[in-house]
Amino acid sequence: MNPSLEIDIKNLLRPHIRDLVPYSSARDEYTGKVGVFLDANENPEGSVIAGKHNRYPDPLQRELKARIAEIKGVHPERIFLGNGSDEAIDLLFRAFCEPGKDKVLLLPPTYGMYKVSAAINGVEIENVPLTKDYQIDLGAVLNKIDTVQPKLIFLCSPNNPTGNTLSRDAMRSVIERASGLVIVDEAYVDFSSEGSLLQADLTNYHNLMVLQTFSKAWGLANLRVGMAFADPAIIAVLNKIKAPYNLSGVTQDLALEAVNKHEAKNKMVSEILANREWLKNELKEIPLVEHIYPTEANFLLVKVPDADELYSRLIGDKIIVRNRSRVQNCEGCLRISVGTREENEQLIDALKLLS
């Protein structure tokens, strides 16, 4: 696709989604805050618990988006907020992929939700595995784009479960060749020294979507807030098909409080990065550890002689890591999240005893 061209969103969309007339909620039709609200069959008396939860929330989360727009330097019309990034991933399949007909392209080993969402939606996957050092096999990917014309291509950078970032030039080559959308999942971008594609590339590429989340660096996995950034035409489609009140008002209020604490997030990230270095250095000294893969995320992929065995023995010590040894190209690997200093010490002590 020529990046200077407008995206032909109408041709990419499933026909019935293109023609869909969305549900119009009461709070879509009147957006003022002051008034006598007799439009939504809410309880006018209040709530049965402390706090005022009796009114439906803003379906488009305007206040929160305005603040996110400021800190990210992105126009609010380019922002979609979902119940985790996983909601945005699912909506993309539902909007763009005709079951049994359209295809999507994955570069395994990568985040498991892309495959699960494809399966739930009955959409066929084409795989072009990452190279031995977990980079994009560019020749093979470009070839696959030309032969199967995938509607969606998922790139994860830093990649889960491998931890490395993907080459920015290679990602741009994929975006430029793609005939559909390219989704760059940046869930771990705050831990990376590479930075985001958001500021550099979002307005250049009409077929690019960048995913970020409050679940990792912001420490808000329990809230379930994911961000998708893209061309306003793509964002409008997601808004059209999402559940009307997909983010609760409580969630919106807490996320708004969080974005105003940008500094606290940065401080925690620095702490986690320091602990990541400590953990990496300690793991290097453990005889059981064969290899530690380079990481730009808040976890380490580690190769050991018998991953299943070590995983079970760590469970015996009530230390839970992620066994990735049955993932293709991650054979023998455990994925270890960076914990607090004390948690990391417990892990290291346990590994020393098991070695």
Ligand X SMILES: *Cc1c(COP(=O)(O)O)cnc(C)c1O
Q: Give residues in contact with ligand X (CB under 6 A).
A: 84-86, 111, 156, 160, 185, 187, 213, 215-216, 221, 226
Q: How many residues does the chain have?
A: 355
For residue 103, report the phi and psi dihedrals to the nearest 5 degrees.
-125, 155
Question: Quick check: helix, strand or coil at residue 153?
Answer: strand
Shortest spacing between CB 194 and ligand X, in angstroms: 15
End-to-end CA distance of the chain: 53
Shortest spacing between CB 223 and ligand X, in angstroms: 9
Shortest spacing between CB 160 and ligand X, in angstroms: 4
Asked if 111 and 95 touch (Cβ cutoff 8 Å), the reply is: no
Of 102 and 185, which CB lies nearer to ligand X in the complex structure? 185
Shortest spacing between CB 185 and ligand X, in angstroms: 5
Question: Quick check: helix, strand or coil at residue 77?
Answer: helix
C-alpha atoms less than 13 angstroms from C-alpha of 120 in its C-beta half-sphere:
14
Q: In the structure encoding, which two tokens stand for residue 31, read together?
A: 């957006």
Residue sitting closest to ligand X (CB) = 84
Shortest spacing between CB 35 and ligand X, in angstroms: 34
Of 118 and 156, which CB lies nearer to ligand X in the complex structure? 156
Of 111 and 205, which CB lies nearer to ligand X in the complex structure? 111
Of 85 and 207, which CB lies nearer to ligand X in the complex structure? 85
Of 180 and 226, which CB lies nearer to ligand X in the complex structure? 226
Of 285, 278, 269, nearest in space to 341 by CA:
278
Sheet architecture: strand order including 181-185: 79-82, 226-229, 208-213, 181-185, 152-156, 103-106, 124-127
Cβ neighbours of residue 266 closer than 8 Å, sequence gap 6 or more:
none
Shortest spacing between CB 32 and ligand X, in angstroms: 31
Of 58 and 86, which CB lies nearer to ligand X in the complex structure? 86
> What letter would DSSP give residue 179?
S
